[in-house]
């Protein structure tokens, strides 16, 4: 009897180890395609891939996170307002699912802020008042949960750069945040290689613009 039990235990362990490796392998595959995308259709492909993993791994927040990330990127690129809202609704849904799995993850709130920024673009005149407040609340929460996370600073800074000065935007307010994000990006160390690690390059570009602006002024 003992032998049966131990054998079963070994088999189960092997299987779960196998499945764990399968998870990591599948995640890495997804991240590879995400980092080497060629066109927008790839984002839909990758989103589908991560959604499948999310469906099979109810306890993991990362697959849903990356699927939501793909949808928010797609929503920014989408021109047709109706389609844009559907993508955002999908993304919002995914975010609320992963917040149930991990309610105190700084990265999720940073992504939520980005989602709200995209909502503003659907109908700026009507959505800006509500969603700009929500976006800021999400970024503040993200920073509160992990002050070393560069993404909330980066997203906030990028948004301010494209906001007119009278609404509290412009280079003057944006650049300190971009600089802060740059500093954090350089120090940032992922807990493991599946954790989010995006935004560094584009933030560096924005920082370049900040530099130019200053030189012109001087």
Partner 1 sequence: MKPLLFIFIALLSGQLNAQTIIRGTVNDESNNPLTGANIYIKGTYTGATSDTIGRFSITTLMQDTCILIIAYIGYETIEKEIALNQRIINLDFRLNESVSELDRVIITAGTFEAGDKKRSVLLSSLDIVTTANAEGDIYGALNMLPGAQTEGETGKIIVRGGESHEMKTFMDGMLISTPYTSRMPDIPARGRFSPFLFSGVMFSTGGYSAEFGQALSSVLELNTEALAEESLTSVSLLNVGAGLGYTHRFDNSSVTIEADYSNLTPFFAMTRHNLDWEKVPEGFSGQIRYRKKTGDEGMIKSFVSYSNSSSRLNYPNYDTGMKDKIGLGDENLFQTTTYNTKLGEKWILKTGLAFNISRENFDINTDRMSDKLNSCHAKASFNNYTSKNLTMKFGIESFHHQNRKSYHHSETARNYLSDYSDHLTAGYAESDIRLHKSFAARIGVRTEYSTYLKRASLAPRISLAYQISKTNQLSFAFGSFYQNAENDFLLVTDSLSFEHAMHYIFNYQYSKNNRLFRIEAYHKQYDNLVKYRYMDQEGYQSVNNNGYGYARGIDIFWRDKETFTMADYWISYSFIDSKRKYRDFPVIATPYFVSGHNLSVVYKYWFPRLSTQLSGSYKFRSGRPYFNPNHDNFMSDRTRAFNDISLAVSYLTSLFGNFTIVYVSCNNVFGFDNTFGYHFETEPDDTGTYLAHPVQPYAKRTFIIGIFISIE
Q: Which value, to the nearest 10 degrees, does the dihedral of the CA atoms of residues 203, 76, 92, 140 take?
A: 30
Rg over alpha carbons for the chain, rounded to the nearest Å, is 20
- Interface residues with partner 1 (CB under 8 A) are 3-4, 7-8, 11, 22, 26, 41, 44-45, 47-49, 51-53, 55-56, 80-83, 85-87, 90, 119, 122-123, 125-127, 130, 133-134, 137, 164-168
Residue 166 or 216 with smaller CB distance to partner 1: 166
CB of 198 to partner 1, least distance (A): 22
40-42-47 Cα angle (round to 5) = 105
Distance CA 160, CA 163 (A): 5
Residue 80 or 218 with smaller CB distance to partner 1: 80
CB of 136 to partner 1, least distance (A): 9
Residue 56 or 195 with smaller CB distance to partner 1: 56
Distance CA 90, CA 84 (A): 10
CB of 90 to partner 1, least distance (A): 5
Residue 118 or 149 with smaller CB distance to partner 1: 118
Helix (H) or strand (E) holding 172: helix 171-187
């Amino acid at each position: 009897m003992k032998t049966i039990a131990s054998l079963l235990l070994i088999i189960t362990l092997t299987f779960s180890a196998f499945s764990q490796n399968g998870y990591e392998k599948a995640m890495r595959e997804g991240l590879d395609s995400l980092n080497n995308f060629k066109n927008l259709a790839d984002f839909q492909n990758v989103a589908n891939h991560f959604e499948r993993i999310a469906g099979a791994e109810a306890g993991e927040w990362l697959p849903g996170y990356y699927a939501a990330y793909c949808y928010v990127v797609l929503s920014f690129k989408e021109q047709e307002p109706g389609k844009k809202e559907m993508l955002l609704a999908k993304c919002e849904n995914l975010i609320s699912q992963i917040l149930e799995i991990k309610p105190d993850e700084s990265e999720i709130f940073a992504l939520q802020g980005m989602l709200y920024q995209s909502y503003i673009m659907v109908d700026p005149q009507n959505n800006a008042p509500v969603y700009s407040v929500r976006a800021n609340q999400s970024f503040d929460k993200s920073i509160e949960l992990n002050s070393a996370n560069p993404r909330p600073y980066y997203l906030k800074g990028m948004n301010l750069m494209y906001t007119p000065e009278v609404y509290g935007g412009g280079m003057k307010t944006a650049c300190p945040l971009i600089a802060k994000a740059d500093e954090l990006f350089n120090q940032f160390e992922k807990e493991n290689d599946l954790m989010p690690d995006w935004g560094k390059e584009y933030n560096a570009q924005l920082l370049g613009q900040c530099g130019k602006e200053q030189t012109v002024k001087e």
